């Protein structure tokens, strides 16, 4: 094999490996494992919550779609889910210098002011968790079943707007998915179209 052919083979192998590493998660398959830190500096692993329903919510406080929900029911959804035994992980993947980026202390202060009630607020500044889940927007919602398989991914509801009044009119897609998984039932609409602001990943 000549040098050019060797280089082409190596490049192809690298591209295939990268594609595999960054392959989008699939409904019914194991949710991507991760280790990161939360707003209190504690190490958090997905494996910490084995056997429990896990809800993941991508956030960015500067996004009007996130503001809509924190002005119209995100906190109640968090409290309802965790009150039924679910783990709620709010994930910040905004890189330093981008919209929505905050440090842990600021995140804690904002949660207190908003009355938010996630189990952990995860600081994913490098975007490793976000990219593993192919999170595109804020809010992008995921529900992981107790067996560790991805049961839902998509929009928080069915109306892609920034108007808080639309929440009551919309189909509550994430809530329905959470309730189904907590009840041990299949999710009727397991994958839906997410809407919101783009996740502000590091380049």
Instruction: Evaluate whether the domain defined by 27-198 bears CATH number 3.40.30.10.
Output: yes
Global confidence as pTM: 0.88
Closest-CA residue to 183 (of 146, 152, 129, 158):
146
Average pLDDT over residues 16-45: 83
How many residues are listed for the chain in this entry?
203
Domain-by-domain residue ranges, the chain?
27-198
Residue-averaged pLDDT of the chain: 91
Q: What is the pLDDT of residue 80?
A: 98
Query: What pLDDT sits at residue 24?
Result: 84
Q: pLDDT band at residue 203, thresholds of 50, 70 and 90?
A: confident
Residue with the larger pLDDT of the pair 164 and 12: 164
* pLDDT tens digit sequence for 46-67: 999 999 999 999 999 999 999 9
Helices (H), the chain: 3-21, 64-70, 74-83, 104-114, 128-132, 173-182
Cis before 201? omega within 30: no
Q: Are 164 and 74 in contact (CB under 8 A)?
A: no
Q: What's the mean pLDDT in 135-153?
A: 98
pLDDT for res 61: 97
Q: Coil, strand, or helix at residue 120?
A: strand
């Amino acid at each position: 094999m000549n040098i050019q052919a060797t280089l082409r083979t190596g490049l192809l192998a690298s591209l295939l490996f990268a594609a595999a590493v960054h392959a989008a998660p699939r409904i019914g398959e194991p949710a991507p494992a991760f280790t990161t830190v939360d707003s209190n500096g504690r190490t958090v692993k997905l494996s910490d919550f084995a056997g429990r329903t896990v809800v993941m919510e991508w956030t960015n406080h500067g996004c009007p779609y996130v503001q809509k929900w924190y002005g119209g029911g995100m906190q109640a959804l968090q409290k309802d889910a965790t009150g039924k035994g679910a783990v709620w992980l709010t994930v910040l993947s905004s890189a330093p210098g981008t919209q929505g980026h905050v440090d842990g202390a600021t995140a804690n202060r904002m949660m207190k002011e908003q009355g938010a009630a996630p189990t952990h607020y995860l600081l994913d500044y490098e975007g490793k968790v976000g990219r593993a889940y192919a999170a595109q927007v804020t809010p992008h919602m995921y529900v992981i079943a107790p067996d560790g398989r991805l049961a839902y991914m998509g929009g928080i509801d069915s109306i892609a707007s920034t108007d808080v009044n639309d929440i009551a009119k919309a189909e509550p897609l994430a809530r329905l998915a959470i309730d189904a998984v907590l009840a041990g039932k299949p999710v009727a609409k397991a994958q839906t179209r997410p809407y919101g602001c783009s996740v502000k990943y590091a380049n």
